[in-house]
């Protein structure tokens, strides 16, 4: 027997008791443990699977692209000139408003995921039956996922409500970061190393994933010593390494490989879809063998940045060019609508199918090396910063950086992040946190308004539901 479990949401927040918010009531079918005769029929791991599953939703194939890549200088809207992609054109042009659908979608998605993670933790802590997975590990995985989603929220919106404290009042960003740090610290203590997972559990959150995310969280707060130390913990764990060939980093052959700290898992079978339409929305458009909608196309600005660095390897692994024959023999004819497409979204096996098989890399070992390099340089240890920095450059046959002048090295590390992580959904936030956004957007023909564009607006739909919630500056 099954019953419908209603998760009541105050606007986009999970709550226990709410009225008159019908637009945000989600219905999820779960097994009724009482009706089945035993609570053992309902496992904590089933709750946890639902949290992971939230990251395969369509929001990550379209809205997420808009607020991470298209908005930046790395990427353009793409598609056809007449197709606005709902709000993708205005995101690309930095003219979006508080009613932007992509911003609203991700606010909703992240809060719903936080709510599911919290429910998983609460259920597992109270569960008295025999668990199919260690309860400590289930809680650790859920805390990692909750921390990840809160991190995406705080870097996008700044002060945001912490669900366990208040559903309306926005907690200061420092408090949100402290909560994230605690969740990750708990996860580190509870989770196994990557090498300790059974083969069937590969892709779950690990100790290294939590350590790597915590290093990144420290970086965003300019906690340089903690960032350097935590990154070093990952580097010296002997759990991770760079893939020898950068061109393979986003291919099926390297999924969950030595460079992967955490990635969203694709399943690729209907009805259990993978990351829904991630490849399709970004697939080549038009021509004789178009594979998709053609959105989120690498910009000429990005191509020029690769060329200026002489970075042919990463350029050709990141950008599909019209007229190119891909690594698997597929030819992209000159008749496609855009001159460039995102190769990191390309699926060789599934092409432009809606239910694709493309894992999304969220955290890679190369980023950990660059986090350590940046943190060490900010600590005045610029000579030591060259070791992790040049390890990343060496893989793509670029000459070693030799300067140990802190001011000169800083933009070189930032540039390395851009080229190494291009089209991996971090560029906009890197521009914001490093203070480069206004100049970078001006160079890309866009107007960045200081005091406004550092944060996305709290969605208008949210403020209609909870008018006492404050808005971000400038909106």
Give me the mean pLDDT over the 148-169 stretch.
97
363-398 confidence digits (pLDDT tens): 999 999 999 999 999 999 999 999 999 999 999 999
Confidence of residue 300 (pLDDT cuts 50, 70, 90): very high
Please give the pLDDT value at position 379.
99
According to the model, what pLDDT value does residue 355 have?
80
pLDDT at 11 over 60: no
Task: Note the pLDDT of residue 354.
Answer: 86
Name the DSSP class of 457.
P
pLDDT band at 38 (very low <50, low <70, confident <90, very high): very low
pLDDT at 308 over 90: yes
The dihedrals phi and psi of 366, each to the nearest 5 degrees, come to: -60, -35
Nearest to 297 by CA among 282, 287, 311, 307: 282
DSSP code string of 261-298: EEEEPP---SSS-SSTTHHHHHS--BSTT--S--EEEE
Has residue 10 got a pLDDT over 70? no
Q: What is the pLDDT of residue 356?
A: 82
Residue 17 is predicted with a pLDDT of 25
- Interatomic CA distance for residues 202 and 196, integer angstroms: 10
Average pLDDT over residues 96-116: 98
Backbone angles phi, psi at 90, to 5 degrees: -70, -30
CATH code: domain 2-270+361-465 is: 1.25.40.390
Closest by Cα among 415, 474, 456 to 71:
456
- Whole-structure pTM value: 0.92
Across the range 50-73, mean pLDDT stands at 96
Q: Using the predicted structure, report yes or no on whether residue 16 has a pLDDT greater than 50.
A: no
Within 319-450, residue ranges assigned H as helices are: 365-378, 382-395, 406-420, 427-433, 437-443
pLDDT for 21 equals 27
In this predicted structure, the answer to whether residue 272 has a pLDDT above a threshold of 70 is no
Mean predicted confidence (pLDDT) in 253-276 = 84
Answer whether 56's CB lies under 8 Å from 275's CB. yes
Residue 100 has pLDDT above 60, yes or no: yes
Q: What is the mean pLDDT of residues 218-244?
A: 98
Q: Mean pLDDT throughout 91-102?
A: 98
User: Could you read off the pLDDT of 315-351 as tens digits, one per residue?
Assistant: 999 999 999 999 999 999 999 999 999 999 999 988 8
Whether 32 shows a pLDDT value over 90: the answer reads no
Nearest one of 61, 57, 33 to 129, comparing CA atoms: 33
Query: What is the pLDDT, as a whole number, of residue 357?
Result: 86
| 3 has a pLDDT exceeding 50 | no
| Averaged pLDDT score across all residues of the chain | 91
Is the model's pLDDT at 474 over the cut of 70? yes
Distance, in Å, from the CA atom of 375 to the CA atom of 381, rounded to the nearest integer, reads: 9
> What residues does each domain of the chain span?
2-270+361-465, 278-358
- Other CB atoms within a 10 A radius of the CB of residue 358 amount to 28
Would the pLDDT of 18 be above 50? no
Chain CA centroid to CA 175, Å: 21
274-285 average pLDDT score: 92
**Contact indicator for 282, 292 with CB cutoff of 8 Å:** yes
- Is the pLDDT score of 9 beyond 80? no
What is the CB neighbour count within 10 angstroms for residue 200?
7
Query: Using 50, 70 and 90 to split pLDDT, how confident is the model at 289?
Result: confident
Least confident of 13-27, 216-230, 315-329: 13-27
Provide mean pLDDT across the span 240-263.
97
What average pLDDT does this structure show over 435-455? Answer: 98
Q: What mean pLDDT is predicted for residues 45-72?
A: 96
Query: What average pLDDT does range 294-303 have in this prediction?
Result: 98
Question: Does 39 or 173 have the greater pLDDT score?
Answer: 173
Q: How far apart are CA 108 and CA 13, in angstroms?
A: 8
């Amino acid at each position: 027997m099954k019953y419908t479990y209603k998760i009541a949401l105050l606007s986009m927040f999970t709550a226990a008791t709410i009225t008159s918010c019908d637009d945000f009531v989600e219905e999820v079918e779960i097994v009724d443990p009482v009706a089945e005769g035993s609570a053992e029929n309902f496992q904590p791991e089933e709750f946890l699977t639902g949290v992971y599953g939230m990251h395969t939703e369509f929001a990550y194939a379209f809205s997420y692209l808009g607020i991470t890549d298209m908005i930046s200088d790395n990427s353009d809207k793409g598609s056809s000139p007449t197709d606005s992609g709902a709000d993708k054109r205005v995101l690309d042009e930095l003219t979006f408003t508080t009613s932007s659908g992509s911003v609203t979608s991700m606010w909703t998605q992240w809060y719903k995921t936080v709510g599911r993670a919290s429910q998983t933790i609460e259920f597992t802590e109270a569960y008295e039956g025999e668990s199919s997975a260690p309860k400590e590990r289930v809680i650790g995985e859920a805390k990692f996922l909750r921390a990840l989603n809160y991190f995406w929220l705080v870097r996008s919106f700044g002060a945001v409500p912490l669900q366990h404290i208040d559903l309306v009042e926005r907690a200061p960003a420092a408090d949100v970061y402290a909560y994230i740090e605690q969740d990750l610290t708990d996860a580190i203590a509870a989770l196994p190393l990557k090498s300790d997972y059974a083969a069937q559990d590969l892709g779950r959150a690990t100790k290294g994933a939590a350590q790597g995310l915590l290093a990144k969280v420290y970086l965003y707060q300019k906690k340089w010593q903690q960032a350097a130390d935590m990154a070093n913990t990952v580097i010296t764990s002997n759990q991770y390494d760079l893939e020898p060939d950068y061109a393979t980093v986003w291919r099926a052959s390297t999924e969950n490989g030595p460079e992967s700290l955490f990635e969203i898992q694709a399943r690729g079978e209907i009805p259990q879809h993978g990351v829904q339409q991630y490849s399709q929305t970004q697939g080549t458009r038009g021509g004789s063998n178009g594979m998709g909608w053609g959105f989120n196309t690498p910009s000429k600005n990005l191509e020029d940045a690769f060329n200026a660095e002489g970075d042919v390897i990463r350029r050709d692994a990141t950008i599909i060019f019209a007229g190119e024959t891909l690594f698997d023999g597929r030819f992209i004819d000159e008749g496609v609508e855009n001159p460039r497409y995102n190769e990191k979204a390309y699926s060789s096996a599934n092409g432009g199918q809606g239910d694709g098989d493309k894992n999304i890399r969220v955290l890679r070992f190369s980023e950990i090396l660059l986090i350590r390099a940046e943190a060490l340089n900010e600590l005045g240890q610029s000579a030591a910063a060259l070791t992790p920095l040049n390890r990343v450059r060496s893989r793509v046959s670029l000459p070693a950086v030799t300067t140990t002048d802190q001011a000169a090295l800083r933009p070189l590390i930032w540039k390395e992040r851009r080229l190494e992580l291009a089209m991996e959904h971090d560029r906009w936030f890197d521009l914001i946190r490093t203070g480069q956004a206004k100049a970078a957007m001006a160079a890309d023909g866009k107007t960045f308004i200081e005091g406004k564009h550092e944060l996305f607006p709290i969605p208008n739909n949210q403020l209609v539901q909870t008018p006492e919630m404050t808005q971000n500056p400038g909106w």
